[in-house]
């Protein structure tokens, strides 16, 4: 119940006041047996299917100050049953060339993982997550540091 209310609230916020460069829509509809029926004023019934808020599609635009500027990227969002206690599964449907995104579009991001390896918490939400995906990528890795150095970014890579 918490999940459904929370998703409805977050989805409404994303529709009314989306973060810059972000669009979100539902992917599917609830199957025939789970359709909502609303009674009209004349006693008629509407069998319009309810939207599935646990399967979303998002579109983000590349940040202006990055190599991804002018790009439009489509994402798939699957919200788990334990949301907001567990993070959603997010992957790029549009091919993206970035060291933190694999060929299947899966994203290596702390916000998509539970502690202690990640930073997802119940206070996190879809708008924050989608905004963080639009943040310009970090500068290229420094080649002056040896890979075995504890300060080298690849030494503690957790994906």
Sign, CA torsion 139/141/142/143: negative
DSSP string, 75-116: EEEE--TTTTTSPPEEEESS---BTTB-TT-BB--GGGS-TT
Catalytic residue among 23, 30, 108, 145: 108
3-state helix, strand, coil in the chain (%, to 5): 20, 20, 60
Burial class (CB in 10 A: 0-12, 13-18, 19+), 18: middle
CB count within 10 Å of CB 100 equals 13
Q: Please say whether the beta carbons of 28 and 2 come within 8 A.
A: no
Tokens of 148: 């075995």
Check if 159 is active-site.
Answer: no
Q: Which positions are catalytic? A: 108
């Amino acid at each position: 119940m918490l999940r459904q209310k929370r998703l409805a609230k977050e989805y409404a916020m994303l529709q009314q006041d989306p973060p810059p460069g972000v669009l979100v829509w539902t992917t599917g509809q609830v199957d025939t047996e789970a359709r909502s029926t609303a009674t009209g004023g004349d006693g008629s019934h509407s069998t319009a299917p309810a939207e599935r808020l646990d399967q979303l599609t998002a579109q983000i635009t590349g940040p202006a100050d990055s190599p991804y500027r002018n790009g439009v990227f489509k994402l798939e969002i699957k919200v788990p049953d334990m949301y907001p206690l567990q993070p959603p599964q997010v992957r790029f449907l549009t091919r993206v060339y970035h060291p933190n995104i694999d060929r299947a579009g899966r994203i290596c991001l702390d916000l998509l993982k539970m502690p202690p390896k990640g930073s997802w918490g119940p206070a996190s939400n879809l708008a924050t997550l989608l905004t963080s995906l639009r943040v310009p990528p970090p500068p290229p890795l420094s080649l002056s540091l040896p890979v075995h150095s504890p300060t080298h970014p690849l030494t503690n890579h957790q994906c």
